[in-house]
Amino acid sequence: MSTVTPLIAGMKLPKFVRVEQYFPHNELSEDQIRKIIADNFAKPEFKNTIKPGMKICITAGSRGVSNIVVITRAIVDNVKALGGEPFIIPAMGSHGGATAEGQRGILEAYNITEESMGCPIRATMETVKIGHADEIDVDVQIDKYASEADGIIVVNRIKAHTGFKGKYESGLMKMMTIGLGKQAGAYVAHSAGDDNMPPRLLAIGSEIIRKAPVIMGIGLMENAFDKTYRIEFVEPQKIAEVEPVLLEDAKAAMAKIFLDACDVIILEKIGKNYSGGGMDPNVVGRSRLPIGIKSERMGIFGLSEESHGNATGMGRADVGTMRFFKQISFNDTYPNAITDHDSSVYKIPLIMDNDKECIQASMAICLNMDPENPKILILKNSLEVESMLISEALVPEAKTRPELTITSEPFELEFDEEGNFITSY
């Protein structure tokens, strides 16, 4: 018990129901993925870029990309089949504590290792200046090992970004600018703020295409279940033109919450494996942008193991738990804040003893909530949103949405002896 416990004890938790959200299943099987990659490598415009003995750099990012092991290994195998000598680099800006060892560790957590990939992994934070983006007057730099390669294959998921909107968000341009640029390049890219990121990605990415040996881009696109549904190979000179089209397709396929608003939204976990921002505002809101479900308050229970202590995004929440606080590695979190030129999403929320008090405190600090009929939504994280819990006050709206199905009668939430959430859904 803390001094806060008696102050929030009067917040009675409502009953909840289990809800399923419908999204189409159009994901590719592993065999289909391997075939798509092999078929594209057989096309002259890609096959002819790799000659025997060429050293080919393949980018690998820090996000929880679907099928990333299958995809990366298939790329490695096809490069080898053409006589190339592939190697992989961690391409992830300042993640992993902005250290080579930390970034290699992130790849290992995804099972991207030299043994599983069958090729070397070369990790460094050292960059080399390769040009200058005249439009924004900044030097352009990329990973030292990438700069020494005979060819670079840029691989990344194309999706809506969590902090800005434009023709270029998360995708191939960002992988070149932020991923290949490492912490130094990411810092420069972010130096004009989020609103200026799309044109900066275009300017820096275009200079990298002109000056670095980029031989192809491979865009990965995921459906609402975070499964690969499309893979596009793009010639480097066409990336600037093609990527915005692929981005719109990816946005149409992404998950969402089919409710307009709630008083409190609860996430069981946040983490960099779910979103670059720890949680995806395109889904859960809590952004300066008019995106995602609207909520007055947010609570978070914990941090994913895959995030390696990086608690980016916690500043979007109002309340957290002591368990969450103990999971934070400031050494892994704060390099992102410095690189982003921003502190807002790195601030620590109110910390409660346990999950139950996290919900109660989130309710207690609401201004406009009806305490007798609170509208509360509980999610596992911002990626897995096909199953969720909603309080009884949200049931009438849910019944009007054809994409939602209520799958249970109302019930009380369950907590263990320490007050930690144990309800299944």
Which of these three, 187, 220, 253, is where a domain ends?
253
Q: Are 272 and 401 members of one domain?
A: yes
Q: How far is residue 168's CA from residue 240's CA, in Å, rounded to a whole number?
A: 8
The answer to whether residues 312 and 277 touch, using CB atoms and an 8 Å cutoff, is yes
Q: Are 275 and 222 members of one domain?
A: no
C-beta pairs of 27-35 under 8 Å, 24+ apart in sequence: 27/66, 27/223, 27/225, 27/227, 27/228, 27/229, 28/67, 28/227, 28/228, 28/229, 28/230, 28/231, 30/67, 30/70, 33/67, 33/70, 33/71, 33/74, 33/228, 33/231, 34/70, 34/74
Specify the length of the chain in residues.
425
- Specify if 357 maps to a domain: yes
List C-alpha distances in Å: 246 to 225, 243, 249, 254, 422.
Answer: 18, 5, 5, 12, 40
Q: Are 156 and 50 members of one domain?
A: yes
- Specify if 418 maps to a domain: no
> What Rg, from alpha-carbon coordinates, does the chain have?
22
Residue 31: φ, ψ to 5°? -65, -40
Q: Are 265 and 222 members of one domain?
A: no
Q: How far is residue 260's CA from residue 227's CA, in Å, rounded to a whole number?
A: 25
Nearest to 106 by CA among 70, 151, 51, 64: 64
The answer to whether residues 355 and 421 touch, using CB atoms and an 8 Å cutoff, is yes
Amino acid letter, 271: G
CATH of residue 187's domain is: 3.40.50.11440
Q: How far is residue 398's CA from residue 89's CA, in Å, rounded to a whole number?
A: 46
Q: Are 86 and 216 members of one domain?
A: yes
Nearest to 210 by CA among 140, 118, 307: 140
Q: Are 239 and 265 members of one domain?
A: no
- Specify if 91 maps to a domain: yes
Model confidence pLDDT, tens digit, residues 111-159: 999 999 999 999 999 999 999 999 999 999 999 999 999 999 999 999 9
Q: Are 38 and 18 members of one domain?
A: no
Q: How far is residue 390's CA from residue 373's CA, in Å, rounded to a whole number?
A: 12
Beta-carbon neighbour count of residue 310 at 10 Å? 32
Mean pLDDT of the residues in the chain: 95
Q: How far is residue 173's CA from residue 203's CA, in Å, rounded to a whole number?
A: 9
Q: Are 93 and 210 members of one domain?
A: yes
The pLDDT assigned to 288 comes to 85
The answer to whether residues 398 and 390 touch, using CB atoms and an 8 Å cutoff, is yes
Tokens 């490695």 belong to: 76
Count of structural domains within the chain: 2
* Lookup: tokens for 86: 């592939």
pLDDT band at residue 64 using 50, 70 and 90 as cut-offs: confident
Which of these three, 218, 253, 288, is where a domain ends?
253
Q: How far is residue 143's CA from residue 126's CA, in Å, rounded to a whole number?
A: 6
- Specify if 80 maps to a domain: yes
Q: How far is residue 129's CA from residue 120's CA, in Å, rounded to a whole number?
A: 24
Q: How far is residue 125's CA from residue 319's CA, in Å, rounded to a whole number?
A: 35
Nearest to 301 by CA among 317, 286, 312: 317
* Lookup: tokens for 422: 């144990």
Model confidence pLDDT, tens digit, residues 254-287: 999 999 999 999 999 999 888 888 999 999 999 8
Cβ density class 36-69: b for 16+ within 10 Å, e for less: bbeebbeeeebeebbeeebbbbbbbbbbbbbbbb
Q: Are 273 and 242 members of one domain?
A: no
Residue 246 has pLDDT above 80, yes or no: yes
Which of these three, 253, 268, 294, is where a domain ends?
253
Residue 341 has pLDDT above 90, yes or no: no
- Specify if 248 maps to a domain: yes
- Specify if 264 maps to a domain: yes
Task: Let me know the angle formed at the C-alpha of 197 by 193 and 198, rounded to the nearest 5 degrees.
Answer: 155
H or E element: which one contains 372? none
**Residue 118: strand, helix, or coil:** coil
- Specify if 36 maps to a domain: yes
Q: Are 248 and 270 members of one domain?
A: no
The pLDDT assigned to 329 comes to 97
* Lookup: tokens for 327: 């999971």
Amino acid letter, 377: L
- Specify if 412 maps to a domain: no
Span between the terminal Cα atoms of the chain, in Å: 28
Amino acid letter, 267: L
Model confidence pLDDT, tens digit, residues 17-37: 999 999 999 999 999 999 999
Q: How far is residue 107's CA from residue 99's CA, in Å, rounded to a whole number?
A: 13
* Lookup: tokens for 62: 């820090």
pLDDT band at residue 188 using 50, 70 and 90 as cut-offs: very high
Domain limits at 151? 30-253
Residue 262 CB contacts under 8 Å (≥ 6 apart), including other chains? 293, 294, 295, 375, 376, 377, 390, 394
* Lookup: tokens for 92: 């992830």
Q: How far is residue 233's CA from residue 155's CA, in Å, rounded to a whole number?
A: 9
pLDDT band at residue 340 using 50, 70 and 90 as cut-offs: confident
The pLDDT assigned to 1 comes to 67
* pTM score: 0.80
Q: Are 235 and 136 members of one domain?
A: yes
Q: Are 176 and 266 members of one domain?
A: no
pLDDT band at residue 96 using 50, 70 and 90 as cut-offs: confident
